[in-house]
Amino acid sequence: MAPSEPPRRRGDWLRLYGWLAAILAAVLVGGLIVFETGPPTEAELREQARLTGEHARDKLYIGVKNDTPGIAEKDPLTGAFSGFDIDIAYMIAADLGFRRDQVVFLSIKTEDRARRQATDDKGHYVAVDLVVATFSITPDRVADPSVGFSTPYLYTEQSVVTRKKHPPVASLGQLAGERVCTLGTSTSETPLDRAGVKPLAEMQISDCFKGLANKKYDAVSTDAAIMAGFVARSHGTFVHHDIALEKTEMWAVNTGTNTALRTLVELALFRSYADPQNTAWEDAYDRHIRPLLAANRGVNVAQSLQPCVKPPTIRRWPWERALSSDGC
């Protein structure tokens, strides 16, 4: 017969209860610290961004280009917008909780992208929530307090387009003394200046190509992805030249000072990147950019893979599905 255990003394039970109480208190305190000082949840970010709650809106206003085939173009008859940037904007809007009929696209000029000031059909300036308009990340723009860039959503590079009979162009320096058009306040002006080329600026890229067609300009230089649609539509009238610049143009979304909205935009881009079932980015590329490649041979129009996105810092509950990321 096994010897029976000696009965626990009152002190033993008190010590056991004391240990349990201490552990429970530590768990509760730790939970409160995480709850109060940890990163916000997606629901909290939506409220901070004024997408939900007392100040919730029923429309999302997005500034986009209106004259760039393949990227963002407005149909003069229907007023509808189409292109890669438009599909990316719809993708982000859906993740933010907006239906397509709740998204309002407004035309925005190159110089107004930092200020997020677009124009309506009557020419009135309207503040937009997001800018998805071929807006490249640069140190100067990052330093601008009015600009809040997301992680990049497209990689492209600067290139040159000329008329068909122009001699081949392998570097910007070969354009010295020629009339070269580019977008005013764009990132393309600096490389042209450094190469000794004095660019002639237009406010819309379509005006550069009108000038190229009627021989007002000898060449156009800006991001390859911006110009590829014009080359494709020219049916051989225009020729696209790779000028071997190392600098990558990284397009990103501008949310201004709304940091909560920026985090939510990055979450939408991360989901697109990390979820193999989410093919919205790939579908946009295949629909709008891939068809342009045949007419722009020898030029890296745009990287065909979505730029890597790091998971944004958002608090998740145990029951929320987390997406894996291979890191950047």
% of the chain at pLDDT higher than 70? 85
| Other Cβ atoms closer than 10 A to 196 | 11
The answer to whether 313 touches 154, Cβ cutoff 8 Å, is: no
Q: What does the pLDDT look like over 164-223, one tens digit per residue?
A: 999 999 999 999 999 999 998 788 888 999 999 999 999 999 999 999 999 999 999 999
Which residues are registered as beta bridge partners of 167? none
Q: How far apart are CA 262 and CA 265, in angstroms?
A: 5
Q: So what's the pLDDT on residue 57?
A: 87
What pLDDT was estimated at residue 95?
Answer: 97
Element (H, E) at 26: helix 10-37
**CA distance to 43, 59, 161, 302, 314, per residue, from 52 (Å):** 8, 12, 46, 35, 17
Model pTM score: 0.87
Question: What pLDDT is attached to residue 55?
Answer: 82
User: What is the structure's pLDDT at 184?
Assistant: 84
At residue 279, the 3 state secondary structure works out as coil
pLDDT for the residue 201? 93
CB 169 within 8 A of CB 175: yes
Q: Cβ neighbours of residue 130 under 8 Å, at least 6 residues apart?
A: 60, 61, 62, 63, 89, 92, 116, 253, 254, 255, 261, 265
At residue 185, the pLDDT reads 79
| pLDDT at res. 309 | 95
DSSP state of 2: P
C-alpha 301, offset from chain centre: 17
DSSP readout, 198-266?
Answer: -EEEESSHHHHHHHHHTTS-SEEEEEHHHHHHHHHHTTTSEEEE-----PPEEE--B-TT-HHHHHHHH
Query: What are the tens digits of pLDDT across the range 44-69?
Result: 999 999 999 888 889 999 999 999 99
DSSP class per residue in 118-146: EE-TTS-EEE-SEE-SS-B--HHHHH-TT
Are 228 and 238 spatial neighbours (Cβ–Cβ below 8 Å)?
no
Say which residue, 220 or 27, is predicted with more confidence.
Answer: 220
Q: What is the mean pLDDT of the chain?
A: 90
pLDDT in tens, 263-296: 999 999 999 999 999 999 999 999 999 999 999 9
Residue 159 confidence (pLDDT) above 50: yes
